[in-house]
């Protein structure tokens, strides 16, 4: 019998095969079967220690009329279960247990040898996820509770993962299925669209939830039913209003205001952009989409006019964006950006909510800065200067003025660098002074962390390591929870690593785990690389020769920093490499790159047999001589 899983080793036992492309012994043990891992990360399941795993038992069983295999602990507690549910001699369920209860299952629903559904059970929750393209990444939720939806939101904010948040939003098809009235459906569609558009900016800007953030608690009143006939609706709708999640980050409990959740079949859907409560910030005023009194009943005439104006401007913005595809020439694109900037400014002025106003201004600043850097709209620098000038007059603008200023400075720097006959050395020198002035003017702005990181990186590239360490250290000290601080901390680890043991682990594209600690006794070369780096790919030929020559004493770990895993898979299919690759989402901002503060590829780190770093930036030219010294 064959036994398939996208994230397992190849095992054969009484005709059983666990497959992911790597063969083990012909008669594997329960210990080897226990090396199988769930495709989805973060599952808390029983992992026996090595001495216990060797004593576990693996046996064939009938499970609900189907052939299957179980792995049990020495005292008979169930640890794993693998089942062929359609009797085609291919296993299609991989189950993992905690304290004797099944907590997670990978499922191959279409019986093609690859898991495409992921389910959580018992103490792990009730989620049911679908992976339509079978790439190991969740595409949609089939079942998710209100509590689990808020936990996913917390994780999405902490990871700055817009796709993870988008999977929780009410879809247009689901909205149509609710049977709401025409006006309410229109307002809800606009609300969810803005939430999706604004999440990247919100999550990147907030510095309250670090990447260590963990969901703690769901907080809301009892769910309510909006009966059919309310505002011309045709169906009952079950909702939670004023939902809050409690998260822990940096040892502190933080509130995340989720807003309204709507139930669609067996899943709870999000309609609001979450708001992370910063330390010392006043609690948000309760509000809701369904349970609050009609705006028409409680607004003053002036408020109604502002609301109507905002709706018209939003409608104009939507129509403008629909025409964007027709902006083919550079002049057309510049005209589109200019018109869109005017509309967003008018929307920001018309909105009553300070938070919404700030959100639109940040969106405007991001759009203009990106347009300048893409070469689409050079006048964006002047527009940003004008926008900042207005905000600088407002003493209450604070971080918002700093936000716009930093994007204006970045756009101006880019424009200067691409100018004909640009004096790069002079521009670069002035840029560093500009960053220092920004830090002095806005020392507590979240963008000051990015400015400090940029200074540190420039100093490192210039060979001024002590100056680089100073700025990396300031970034960590002043903005501990920011993404910039995490990159800076990794850079300090790398710069101070020679002679010290380092830790490195991660997931392969197939979902198995690679850990530097498992290579003790061998010299290890860690190669950070990407498929768009010609030098990295040129280095591969030398690395293959050294691997073949010193393979008994030398191991290589590749850490691929492609943003799209498809690029890595395409390269490896044509250029197979005999060593393992770590690849996790995020590219240069991925976890494996961040923990070592990797700034460029290729970067190669040489580690001795005890796990201590010999060289933190070795070249292929000097590599063999260093290897010989270590294995002599």
Q: E strands along 342-465, which residues?
A: none
- The pLDDT assigned to 279 comes to 52
- The pLDDT assigned to 327 comes to 61
Whether the per-residue pLDDT at 250 is higher than 90: the answer is: no
Residues 6+ apart with CB under 8 A from 322: none
Rounded to an integer, the average pLDDT of 319-333 is 74
Whether the per-residue pLDDT at 5 is higher than 60: the answer is: no
Q: Which of 441, 434, 477 is nearest to 455 (CA)?
A: 434
- The pLDDT assigned to 278 comes to 66
Q: E strands along 250-377, which residues?
A: 252-264, 267-270, 275-276
92's tokens: 């299609």
The whole-angstrom separation of Cα 247 and Cα 154 is 7
Name the band, by pLDDT with cuts 50, 70 and 90, for residue 328.
Answer: low
- The pLDDT assigned to 628 comes to 95
Whether the per-residue pLDDT at 194 is higher than 80: the answer is: yes
Q: At residue 212, what are phi and psi to the nearest 5 degrees?
A: -90, 0
Contact between 80 and 56 under an 8 Å Cβ cutoff? The reply is no
- Global pTM value: 0.56
- The pLDDT assigned to 470 comes to 96
Rounded to an integer, the average pLDDT of 238-256 is 88
Cα dist from 428 to 373, 452, 493, 600, whole Å = 16, 15, 26, 19
Whether the per-residue pLDDT at 558 is higher than 90: the answer is: yes
Query: Among residues of the chain, what percentage have pLDDT more than 70?
Result: 90
Whether the per-residue pLDDT at 302 is higher than 50: the answer is: no
The whole-angstrom separation of Cα 380 and Cα 334 is 9
Q: Is 252 exposed, middle or buried (0-12, 13-18, 19+ CB in 10 A)?
A: exposed
**Radius of gyration, CA atoms only, the chain:** 28
DSSP H or E stretch at residue 63: strand 57-63
Name the band, by pLDDT with cuts 50, 70 and 90, for residue 291.
Answer: confident
Q: Which of 29-33, 111-115, 303-307 has the lowest mean pLDDT?
A: 303-307
Whether the per-residue pLDDT at 323 is higher than 90: the answer is: no
Please give the span between the terminal C-alpha atoms of the chain, in angstroms, as a whole number.
47
- The pLDDT assigned to 307 comes to 55
**153: three-class secondary structure by DSSP:** helix
Cα dist from 56 to 19, 276, 373, whole Å = 21, 46, 59
Q: Which of 483, 457, 454, 479 is nearest to 468 (CA)?
A: 457
Query: What is the torsion angle, in degrees rounded to the nearest 10, for the CA atoms of residue 196, residue 200, residue 206 and residue 211?
Result: 110
395 against 79, higher pLDDT? 79
- The pLDDT assigned to 4 comes to 37
Rounded to an integer, the average pLDDT of 231-243 is 90
The whole-angstrom separation of Cα 26 and Cα 20 is 15
Cα dist from 469 to 159, 334, 444, 457, 459, whole Å = 26, 41, 20, 9, 9
Domains (ranges, CATH) in the chain? 2-141 (no CATH), 146-292 (no CATH), 316-495 (1.25.40.10), 505-631 (3.40.30.10)
Q: Which of 391, 466, 460 is nearest to 432 (CA)?
A: 460
DSSP H or E stretch at residue 507: strand 505-507
Q: What angle do the packed helices 380-392 and 354-373 form, to 10 degrees?
A: 150
Mean pLDDT rounded to a whole number for the chain: 86
- The pLDDT assigned to 579 comes to 95
Contact between 483 and 450 under an 8 Å Cβ cutoff? The reply is no
Q: E strands along 271-417, which residues?
A: 275-276
Q: At residue 295, what are phi and psi to the nearest 5 degrees?
A: -60, -35
Rounded to an integer, the average pLDDT of 9-22 is 38
- The pLDDT assigned to 309 comes to 62
- The pLDDT assigned to 135 comes to 87
Rounded to an integer, the average pLDDT of 458-484 is 93
The whole-angstrom separation of Cα 53 and Cα 32 is 8
Whether the per-residue pLDDT at 15 is higher than 80: the answer is: no
Cis peptide before 602 (omega within 30 of 0): yes
Q: Which of 216-230, 286-300, 483-497, 586-600 has the lowest mean pLDDT?
A: 286-300
Query: Among residues of the chain, what percentage have pLDDT more than 90?
Result: 54
- The pLDDT assigned to 472 comes to 96
Q: Which residues pair with 197 in a beta bridge?
A: none
- Residue recorded with tokens 């680089």: 468
- The pLDDT assigned to 402 comes to 92
Whether the per-residue pLDDT at 371 is higher than 50: the answer is: yes
Name the band, by pLDDT with cuts 50, 70 and 90, for residue 20.
Answer: very low
15's tokens: 């005709």
Q: Which of 178-182, 304-308, 450-454, 486-490 has the lowest mean pLDDT?
A: 304-308
Whether the per-residue pLDDT at 152 is higher than 50: the answer is: yes
Contact between 139 and 131 under an 8 Å Cβ cutoff? The reply is yes
Whether the per-residue pLDDT at 294 is higher than 70: the answer is: no
- The pLDDT assigned to 610 comes to 94
425's tokens: 């050395």
Name the band, by pLDDT with cuts 50, 70 and 90, for residue 3.
Answer: very low
DSSP H or E stretch at residue 529: strand 523-529
- The pLDDT assigned to 510 comes to 81
- The pLDDT assigned to 2 comes to 35
578's tokens: 């005999």
Whether the per-residue pLDDT at 257 is higher than 70: the answer is: yes
- The pLDDT assigned to 567 comes to 87
3-class DSSP string for 438-491: HHHHCCCCHHHHHHHHHHHHHHHHCCCHHHHHHHHHHHHHHCCCCHHHHHHHHH
Concatenated DSSP letters for 191-223? HHHHHHHHHHHHHHH--SS-TT-EEEEEE----
Whether the per-residue pLDDT at 138 is higher than 90: the answer is: yes
- The pLDDT assigned to 304 comes to 39
Q: Which of 441, 590, 436, 622 is nearest to 525 (CA)?
A: 622
The whole-angstrom separation of Cα 541 and Cα 494 is 26
Q: What is the pLDDT of residues 47-68, one digit of tens each?
A: 998 888 889 999 888 888 888 8
DSSP H or E stretch at residue 82: strand 78-84
3-class DSSP string for 361-384: HHHHHHHHHHHHHCCCCCCHHHHH
Cα dist from 395 to 119, 346, 392, 406, whole Å = 52, 21, 7, 17
Q: How many CB atoms lie within 10 A of CB 215?
A: 19
Note every long-range contact of 43-49, with CB atoms under 8 Å and residues 24 or more positions apart, other chains counting: 43/96, 43/103, 43/104, 43/120, 43/124, 44/98, 44/103, 44/124, 45/96, 45/97, 45/98, 45/103, 45/104, 46/73, 46/77, 46/79, 46/96, 46/97, 46/98, 46/99, 48/73, 48/79
Residues 6+ apart with CB under 8 A from 258: 150, 153, 243, 244, 245, 270, 272, 274
Whether the per-residue pLDDT at 171 is higher than 60: the answer is: yes
**101: three-class secondary structure by DSSP:** strand
- The pLDDT assigned to 178 comes to 94
- The pLDDT assigned to 18 comes to 46
The whole-angstrom separation of Cα 149 and Cα 47 is 27
Q: Which of 1-5, 94-98, 596-600, 609-613 has the lowest mean pLDDT?
A: 1-5
349 against 500, higher pLDDT? 500
Q: Is 8 exposed, middle or buried (0-12, 13-18, 19+ CB in 10 A)?
A: buried
Q: Which of 267, 244, 259 is nearest to 194 (CA)?
A: 259
Q: Which of 258, 233, 4, 244 is nearest to 108 (CA)?
A: 4
148's tokens: 């689990």
């Amino acid at each position: 019998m064959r036994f398939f899983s996208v994230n397992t080793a190849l095992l054969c036992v009484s005709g059983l095969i666990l497959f992911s492309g790597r063969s083990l012994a012909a008669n594997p043990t329960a210990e080897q079967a226990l090396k199988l891992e769930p495709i989805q990360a973060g599952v808390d399941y029983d992992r026996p220690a090595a001495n216990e795993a060797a004593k576990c038992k693996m046996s064939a069983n009938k499970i609900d009329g189907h052939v299957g295999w179980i792995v049990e602990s020495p005292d008979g507690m169930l640890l794993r279960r693998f089942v062929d549910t359609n009797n085609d001699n291919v296993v299609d369920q991989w189950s993992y247990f905690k304290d004797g209860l099944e907590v997670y299952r990978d499922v191959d629903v279409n019986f093609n040898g690859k898991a495409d559904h992921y389910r959580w059970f018992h103490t792990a929750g009730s989620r049911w996820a679908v992976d339509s393209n079978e790439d190991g990444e969740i595409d949609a939720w089939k079942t998710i509770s209100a509590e689990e939806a808020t936990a996913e939101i917390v994780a999405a904010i902490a990871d700055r993962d817009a796709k993870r948040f988008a999977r929780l939003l009410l879809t247009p098809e689901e909205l149509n299925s609710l049977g709401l009235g025409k006006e309410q459906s229109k307002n809800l569609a606009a609300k969810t669209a803005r939430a999706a558009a604004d999440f990247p900016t919100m999550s990147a800007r907030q510095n309250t939830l670090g990447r260590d953030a963990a969901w703690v608690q769901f907080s809301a009143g009892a769910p309510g039913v909006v009966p059919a006939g309310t505002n011309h609706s045709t169906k009952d709708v079950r909702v939670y209003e004023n939902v809050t999640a409690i998260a822990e980050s940096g040892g502190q409990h933080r509130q995340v205001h989720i807003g309204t959740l709507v139930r669609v079949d067996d899943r709870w859907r999000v309609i609001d952009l979450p708001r992370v409560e910063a330390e010392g910030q006043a609690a948000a005023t309760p509000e809701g989409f369904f349970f609050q009194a009609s705006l028409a009943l409680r607004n003053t005439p002036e408020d109604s006019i502002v609301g109507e104006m905002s709706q018209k401007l939003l409608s104009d913005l939507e129509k403008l964006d629909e025409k964007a595809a027709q902006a083919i020439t550079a002049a057309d694109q510049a005209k589109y950006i200019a018109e869109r900037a005017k509309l967003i400014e008018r929307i920001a002025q018309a909105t009553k909510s300070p938070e919404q106003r700030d959100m639109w201004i940040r969106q405007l600043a991001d759009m203009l800065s990106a347009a300048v850097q893409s070469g689409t709209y050079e006048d964006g620098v002047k527009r940003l200067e004008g926008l900042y000038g207005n905000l600088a007059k407002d003493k209450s603008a604070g971080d918002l003025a700093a936000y716009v200023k930093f994007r204006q400075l970045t756009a101006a720097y880019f424009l200067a660098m691409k100018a004909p006959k640009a004096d790069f050395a002079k521009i670069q020198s002035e840029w560093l002074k500009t960053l220092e002035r920004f830090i002095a003017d806005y020392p507590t702005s979240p963008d000051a962390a990015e400015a400090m990181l940029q200074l540190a990186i420039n100093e490192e590239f210039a060979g001024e390591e002590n100056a680089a360490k100073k700025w990396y250290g300031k970034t960590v000290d002043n903005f501990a929870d920011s993404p910039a601080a995490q990159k800076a901390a990794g850079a300090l680890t790398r710069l101070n690593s020679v002679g010290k043991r380092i830790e490195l682990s991660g997931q392969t594209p197939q979902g198995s785990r690679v850990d530097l600690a498992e290579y003790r006794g061998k010299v290890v070369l860690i190669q950070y690389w990407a498929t768009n780096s010609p030098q990295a790919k040129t280095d591969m030929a030398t690395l293959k020769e050294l691997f073949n020559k010193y393979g008994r004493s030398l191991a290589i770990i590749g850490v691929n920093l492609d943003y799209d895993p498809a690029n890595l898979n395409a390269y490896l299919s044509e250029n197979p490499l005999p060593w393992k690759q770590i690849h996790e989402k995020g590219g240069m901002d991925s976890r494996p790159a961040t923990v070592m503060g990797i700034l460029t590829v290729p970067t190669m780190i040489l580690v001795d047999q005890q796990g201590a770093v010999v060289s933190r930036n070795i070249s292929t030219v000097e590599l063999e001589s260093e290897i010989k010294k270590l294995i002599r």
